[in-house]
Amino acid sequence: MKKTIFLFTFLFSASLVFSQTRVFTKNGNIKFDATSPSSPETIAAANNNASSVIDLGTGAIQFAVLMKAFLFEKALMQEHFNENYVESDKFPKSDFKGEIVNMKDVNLDKDGVYPVKVKGKLTLHGVTKEVEADGTVTVKDKSIVGAKSEFKVVLADFNIAVPSVVKDKLNKEARISVDMNYEPLKTS
């Protein structure tokens, strides 16, 4: 009987520990701005439905975002983005799989904001490329509760063509901003 109680207690405790080793969000914010300096209008959009998971033990990190969930200031821009540039019907999502390279420098026992380096593979428009970015993670109550980063992607690297008609409005690089708020991933 004592062995059964011990085993049950051990397994229950282990499941609590492992359930706290990952954090996630389903409503992270990803913005991009591809406005050319000579453009009279802003070419930017935001997506508040990005999904992300971080494994606190290994630093593994993943993001996924549906391309049609990016919202633009003007409906015509959104239509062109989905139909002509990222071809959302053919390539409905973008994802990133990588790691926080310096996870050992993030002290989960001390609340604060920590600088991080993230490295991994970004898939966009059917093309996968290695990317690296600097960012920060916010630690509170022994967990990562937030992450922020900014980096640039060259549109041509992902086979996103810029027609000559809009080359003065659309920059060859898009600035990507990531802002996530995480909560513990509970497994049942």
The residue type found at 124 is L
Q: Rounded to the nearest 5°, which phi and psi values hold at 110?
A: -130, 115
Domain ranges of the chain: 2-184
Statement: 2-184 belongs to CATH 3.10.105.10: no
Whole-model pTM: value is 0.85
Q: Give the list of residues 6+ apart from residue 67 with CB closer than 8 angstroms, or none.
A: 81, 82, 86, 88, 91, 92, 93, 94
Chain centroid to CA 187: how far?
Answer: 21
* CA–CA gap between residue 137 and residue 143 (Å, rounded): 10
CA dihedral of residues 41, 86, 154, 106 (deg, nearest 10): 100
Q: From first to last of its 188 residues, what are the pLDDT tens digits of the chain?
A: 444 443 343 444 444 444 459 999 999 999 999 999 988 899 999 999 999 999 999 999 999 999 999 999 999 999 999 998 999 999 999 999 999 999 999 999 999 999 999 999 999 999 999 999 999 999 999 999 999 999 999 999 999 988 777 778 889 999 999 999 999 988 76
